[in-house]
Amino acid sequence: MCGISGIIGKNWDDEILQRMLRIQHHRGPDAQDIFINEDHIVGLAHNRLSIIDLSDSGKQPMCDTTGRYWLVFNGEVYNYLEIKLQLDKEFSFRTRTDSEVVLYSFIKWGPACLDKFIGMFAFAIWDNKENTLFAARDRFGVKPFHYAFDGKGNFLFASEIKTLFAGGAVTRPNEMAWASYLQDGKYDHADFSFWQGISKLMPGHHLTFKDEKISIIKWYDLAEKTGIREDNRPIDDIIEEYFSLMQENIIFRFRADVPVGINISGGLDSSALLGLVDKVQGEDSVVKAFTFITGDARYDELPWVNQMIGKTKHPLSPVMLRPEDVPALAESVQYYEDEPFGGIPNLAYARIFEEARKQGILVLLDGQGMDEQWAGYDYYRKASTTEVTQTVQGSKDSPVRPECLDNEFRLRADKELFPKAYPDSLRNLQYRDTFFTKIPRALRFNDRISMRSSTELREPFLDHRLFELAFRQTEDKKIHGEQGKWLLRLLLSKHLPGRIVEAPKRPLQTPQREWLREELKEWAEANIEGALNGFGGSWFKKEDVWRLWNGFLKGESDNSFYVWQWINLGLMRNFVTPYSNIN
């Protein structure tokens, strides 16, 4: 896992590239380097977190043997050894890295190489002969890629938004993004960011920059791969194929030259992850496990985690988050997120990566992706076709409060509806959550949180082959009565009997509502005040905000998402400080 950045144009200073390199140091503390071509048209920068081939030979920017192609790569292509076998006769490899495999794959197959990759990635390759930049992002957008133009017409790209600020991009809020977020709960759903002029390359897309023009093409679409076809094979055949892919993904995610750990909760997905790790690694596996706790029995899943771990030899590290930790931690996490993040559960998750790094664990696995594949959320069982944009698990209350927004500001919200790619409402909800709501948000939160501690997060179940297989299944294989994930449960009972431990389904994993009403009340109010007096103050009807806040304190709402929106806006008031003085 690394940080990539670059600048292309005719009017830029080397110090700008150095500044971009420095600001992403946390993404790759093991090595930093730059490449500037002879014509001074392009500059590439790379921050390396060494995971595979820890030697200096794996440093980037990396060039081919001719010096024509230059690569900056962030992520992991897990099947790089298998792809390398197809390239060995044609290319002379100088490293053991997956990065070099990506480089030569592009040289041999061009953009078609992307279809061969299994993994998470965002990379850019400069063609020094054609003066062309090619960039690509993985199918689900696990790894980030942002781009913008500075005030001089130079093209900038980077893993993080703050890096583009350091490169000279503007720091003005994008009111369309903010209106969409505050009114409808929509964010991380489109190619625009919360900052004017800063765009993101969407998942499953690649970009070409040549002659000052950008061309973007969609190279992967889950709906096109699955379409209206249904998988009518016997259930046992489906289970065997799916389980085989699950095992292969665990094997792939343990390809690393550094220690690997696992992040678990009391859920079914964690049971599957832990059971598969033991099946692949052997029952004597001592891979370290991490979970977060808050000291509140209403939310903590430690009893179920202990049941799970008690059947294994994995050492467990429970990581505590207390309410008094929140103010300073929220400020820190906000700096690394660049945009609004999900709330106190994200802070608890950040603690896990801090602790893993302290213990020398540089790679963590988690179970992201199963709910979207197998219809695990409660609202899937109703499969409504309504355009719900932000759903809080277990809540009957609206997560947003558009009535407290200025009427003119509300009109600036993005009006685009989510695509209906399938003929049935269930898969449309799953598709929405996979590419426009749940997963894109979680991936952005988790990438920044893990990189904040210079650690790598790998998600074995976020694999396109698993999604394609699951999306071809009919509704009856996903939902039985009031229970989702039916086929997944059947699979685990067959292949991992006695290993399933699952906590009761609850809306949150932290007492966010309670803390905001009690221990963190003054802190919350200070941040709401900061939001109303900061750059977004004119967006609100201030009296209505305070009225709704007082109602929240009295217990008039069963979720705190809208309150966190206001707090988050207050946290971001410090984020708009100009980045030109970064050193």
Distance between CA atoms of 120 and 463, rounded to whole angstroms? 9
Classify 307 as helix, strand or coil. helix
Helices (H) and strands (E) in the chain, counts: 21, 17
Distance of CA 20 to the CA centre of its chain: 21
Query: At 207, which helix (H) or strand (E)?
Result: strand 205-210
Burial class (CB in 10 A: 0-12, 13-18, 19+), 311: middle
Distance between CA atoms of 262 and 457, rounded to whole angstroms? 9
Q: What is the dihedral of CA 557, 448, 581, 173, to 10 degrees?
A: -40
User: For 20-158, where are the E strands, in sequence order?
Assistant: 31-36, 42-48, 62-63, 69-77, 119-127, 132-137, 146-149, 155-158
Classify residue 78 by its DSSP letter.
T
Give me 215's structure tokens: 């061309």
Give me 63's structure tokens: 């060039």
Q: Which residues pair with 365 in a beta bridge?
A: 262, 458
Rg, Å, the chain Cα set: 23
Distance between CA atoms of 353 and 1, rounded to whole angstroms? 14
Distance between CA atoms of 98 and 481, rounded to whole angstroms? 45
Query: At 263, which helix (H) or strand (E)?
Result: strand 260-263
Assign residue 48 a region: left if phi > 0, alpha if psi is -120 to 50, beta otherwise?
beta
8 A C-beta contact, residue 77 and residue 117: yes
8 A C-beta contact, residue 515 and residue 564: no
Classify 458 as helix, strand or coil. strand
Residues with Cβ within 8 Å of residue 497, at least 6 apart in sequence:
none
Query: Among residues 304, 312, 245, 316, which one has the least CA distance to residue 275?
Result: 312
**Is the bond into 61 cis (omega within 30 degrees of 0)?**
yes
For this structure, is 2 an active site residue?
Answer: yes
Distance of CA 357 to the CA centre of its chain: 19
Distance between CA atoms of 221 and 135, rounded to whole angstroms? 18
Q: How many CB atoms lie within 10 A of CB 11?
A: 10
Query: Among residues 567, 552, 352, which one has the least CA distance to residue 453?
Result: 352
Distance between CA atoms of 165 and 158, rounded to whole angstroms? 10
8 A C-beta contact, residue 289 and residue 300: no
Q: Which residues pair with 319 in a beta bridge?
A: 292
Enumerate the active-site residues: 2
